[in-house]
Amino acid sequence: MPIYDQTYKSWETQYRVRGRWLAVAAQELRVARTSPIFRRLFLLSLLPFLIMLFIMVITDLMTTNPSALLREVVRRVQYTNIDARFFKIYLMMTVPFVYVFCLLVGGGSICNDYRNNLLEVYFAKPITRLEYFFGKLAAVCYMPLLLTIGGSLVLYMLHLITAPVGARAFLSENLWVAGMCIAYSFFVVVPSALLVMACSAMSRSTGWASVIVCALIFLNAAGANMVAMIMRERNYTCFAYVRSVLHMSDLMFGGFTRIDVTWQTIAIGFALLSAICVGTVLWRIRSVDFAS
């Protein structure tokens, strides 16, 4: 029997274990949690939730007061009403922490593995490029989604518990708010995480990745404002990433805005940005996989 016919048994994929991306995400979060900055930032990020929780509890206690005059006074104060505006304010307060957490966790997600030759270690195991990518993406999005979706839904449920008298009226008027909180959270978190991961894939260190992200956001805002001033058209300010996020909150939760750009246009722009970032990360991972 020729020796070249005797070879190793080919790899069979019928015994593949699903969910390997969870191991990648858990490892990334385990590394991030060892940083003292991560723990301090997490405690600081709870401040918006505690502030809105305090306002909600005080408002619910006053509205359930037997005094009709006190109930009417509380209802006339716009910023204490538990409605779509209330949850919009909470999400706007958490957006800065979303960006900081994305930079903290995602800034070194790709470049640290590349610098320490960990990509070869990952791909030496039965793990695909997509599993590696989704594991990193889940790790970067975990804390921001916990703050936005988790915090807003907890406030939503606590309001139903602390104000059982008006719970039926609140649900009939604001049932859509819970879905909007989830949709807006994904709209803000996922493109931000992909942008940070793309910058991490194209840089050599966590610091450089963070600098590149901040520079891109600043230059994007400056360029959009300059174009809007030259063309004398406010709608061009939506070319700015941050302005689009703010305008989308006005469209989804209601609010005064002087911009006439539709949500479909903004969604298409964010989808194109996300596609470019995904392609950049996968190209970087693919090049290392071929080299190995």
pLDDT category, 1, cuts 50, 70, 90?
A: very low
Tell me the two tokens of residue 11: 């790899």
Of the given ranges (39-48, 119-128, 225-234, 257-266), which has the lowest mean pLDDT? 119-128
User: Directed axis angle between helix 167-201 and helix 241-253, to 10°?
Assistant: 160
Tokens 């949709």: give the residue. 183
User: Worst-scoring range by mean pLDDT, 118-132, 175-189, 233-247?
Assistant: 118-132
Mean pLDDT over each residue of the chain, to the nearest integer? 84
Structure tokens at 209: 């990745």
* pLDDT score, position 234: 86
Of residues 78 and 128, more confidence is placed in 128
pLDDT of residue 200: 92
Terminal Cα-to-Cα distance of the chain (whole angstroms):
33
Question: Which pLDDT score, from 0 to 100, does residue 291 have?
Answer: 47
Task: Give pLDDT, residue 117.
Answer: 76
Per-residue pLDDT tens for 175-226? 899 999 999 999 999 999 999 999 999 888 888 888 999 999 999 999 999 9
Instruction: Give the separation between CA 196 and CA 212, rounded to whole angstroms.
Output: 9
For range 138-167, the mean pLDDT: 88
Mean pLDDT computed over 149-158: 93
The whole-angstrom separation of Cα 167 and Cα 55 is 17
